[in-house]
Structure 1
Amino acid sequence: MNQPSPTIRLAPRPTAADIIEIRRNRPMVSSLKVAELFERNHRDVLRAIRKELSAEISLRKLAQSEETNARGKAIPVFWLTEEQALVVMPFIGGRMAREGQRKLVRAYLWYRDNYANPPRRDLIAAKRAAHHPMMGALIEMREEAGKETDARHFQCENKLVNWVVTGEFKAIDEATLSNDQAELLRLVRERNAAFLLAGIDYPERKKRLLDYAMRQRTRIMAAEAQR
C-alpha cells in the first residue's frame, strides 16, 4: 500500500518586497533598510545620504518619514529612489558593504523586471508553476520503485535542470535569469516531469534534457530574431 506523498516544503524566497517599498508611487528603499543591509549605524547612513545627495538635490525634496526606534524615540528616515541609492551606496561603508550593495541592486532589478515588465512577470510565474509537477513526478517515480524521497533528491533534480539551462549544478537566483532562460527553465522542468513519469533513469534524462534544451534554445533564438 502506497504511503501518502510527503509535502514538498520550499524555503521562503527572498524578494524585493523585503527591501523595496512603494513611496510616492515609486519603488524606494529606506535608510533604515540600507543600515540593516550594510550593517551600519543608522546615523552613519543618514550622514552619508546628506553629504552625497546634497549636491544632487535639495534635501527638502528628499522623501522622508519619521519612525520610532526600539527606545521609543522618533528618528528621521530617508527614502531613496533607485538612482539615489546607487549614488549613495558606495559611500555607506560597513562590514557588509559589498553584500549590501549586491542585495540592493538585485532588489531594484527584481522590482523592475517583475512589476515594470509584465511579460517577465508571466515568464517567472510559469517557470515557478512548473516546479511542483516536476517534484511530484519525482516522488511518484521513486514510489513506484519502492524508494523514499527526501530533500537531497529534490535538490539533485533541481540542480540537474538548472545545469541544463545555465551550465552549473547549483541553485539559481531567478533575478539573474534572462527572460529566455526563464522560459527555457519552464520547458525543461515540464519535459523532465514527463521523463520522470515515464521512468527514465537519471543518466538518460540528463542526456535527453540537454538535447531538448539545445533544440529549444534554437527555437527561442529564431523567435527572437523574427520580432
Structure 2
Amino acid sequence: MIFEELEQSIRLLYPKCPIKRFKDVCIVSEAEPNATVKGLSFNIPESLLIGNELIKSLSGFFENSDRIFRKDCDGIVLLEYNGKSYCLLIELKSAFDTKDIDKARKQILSTYIKLNMSLMPLADYNKDDFEFIGIIVSKEPTGDCLKWIRNINMLSDTDPKKKLYIFPIQLYSEKQKVIHYDFYLREKGYRLSPNCMYEKMKYCHVAVPPDSSIYKADIAKFL
C-alpha cells in the first residue's frame, strides 16, 4: 500500500484525524448541501484522503491573524502517478465567480500551510517528496459572467481593472497557473519558513459541465 508508514504515523499522532483509503476511484465531496458542484471523482489505482478536520483544528491558533489562516479546502489527496508522489489540495465551487475562485486559492494556500505545520513533526513525512497541486473545481462560466471575463482578459495584465482579478482570469484562460510564493502573503508582510510554504505551486481549474453535479475528471491531465 502507498504511504502506509505515513498513514500509520498520522493516525498515531492525530488519532481523531479521519483518513480514507480509496482503490481505483477517489472521490472528494462538498459538505455544503445547497452546492451545485457536489463532488469530484477520478480514476487512480490507490489514493489516500486526509480529512480536513485536522486543518480546521488548527484554525483557533490563528484567531487574531489574517482571516486567510482560518480557511481550508474540501479535500487533501495523496497519490502516486508514473513514479511520482502528489498531494492534491482540492476546492469545490458551484460557479466560476472571480471572488469565489480567488477565495478558493486562499483556502488552498491556508490548507497547504497548516497541513505542513501538522505533518512536519513526522519522521515519515518530507514535504519535498511531494509535488503539491491546487485543484479548483467549478461550473464553467456562462452568459454575462463569461462575457465579462473575456472583456477583462483583453486588457493588459498591468491594467488596474484586470490586476484585481488576475488570478481567476488567467486560471480560466490558461486552465492552470503557477504561483511563486504567494502575492497575498507578500502584500500582508508574512515571512514563512520553507518548511510550511511553497516556493511555487501549480493551480489548475477543472470545468464542470452545466448538467453535472458530480464530475469525473481525467486527473492525469493536471499532473
TM-score bracket relative to the smaller structure: under 0.3
Normalised to the residue count of structure 1, the TM-score between the two structures is: 0.25
Higher strand proportion: 2
Higher helix proportion: 1
Normalised to the residue count of structure 2, the TM-score between the two structures is: 0.25
